[in-house]
Amino acid sequence: MLSHLTLLLPLVLSISSPSAAYWKGFNLPANLPSGACKTTQDWARDFSVLDSLPGDFSSARLFASSDCGTLANAVPAALTSNTKLLVGVWTQDGAHYEAEKAALVQAIKQHGTSWIVAVSVGSEDLYRAETDAATLARQINEVRTLLQGLGASNIEVGHVDTWTAWVDPKNEDVVRACNFVGHDGYPYWEGVSVEQGLNAFHQNLEKTRSVVNRVKPGALVWVTETGWPVTGANFGSATPSVANAGAYWKSVACEIFRGAHTFWYTTQDYSSSPSFGVLDANYKPLYDLSC
Burial class (CB in 10 A: 0-12, 13-18, 19+), 174: buried
Q: For residue 138, give every residue at least 6 positions away whose Cβ sits within 8 Å of its Cβ, in sequence order, or none.
A: none
Q: How far apart are CA 214 and CA 184, in angstroms?
A: 19
CA-derived radius of gyration, the chain? 18
Question: In degrees to the nearest 10, what's the CA dihedral of 28, 30, 34, 35?
Answer: -140
Q: How far apart are CA 201 and CA 85, in angstroms?
A: 25
Q: Which residues are catalytic?
A: 124, 225
Cα–Cα nearest to 121, from 154, 89, 79:
89
Q: How far apart are CA 9 and CA 250, in angstroms?
A: 18
Q: How far apart are CA 234 and CA 215, in angstroms?
A: 37
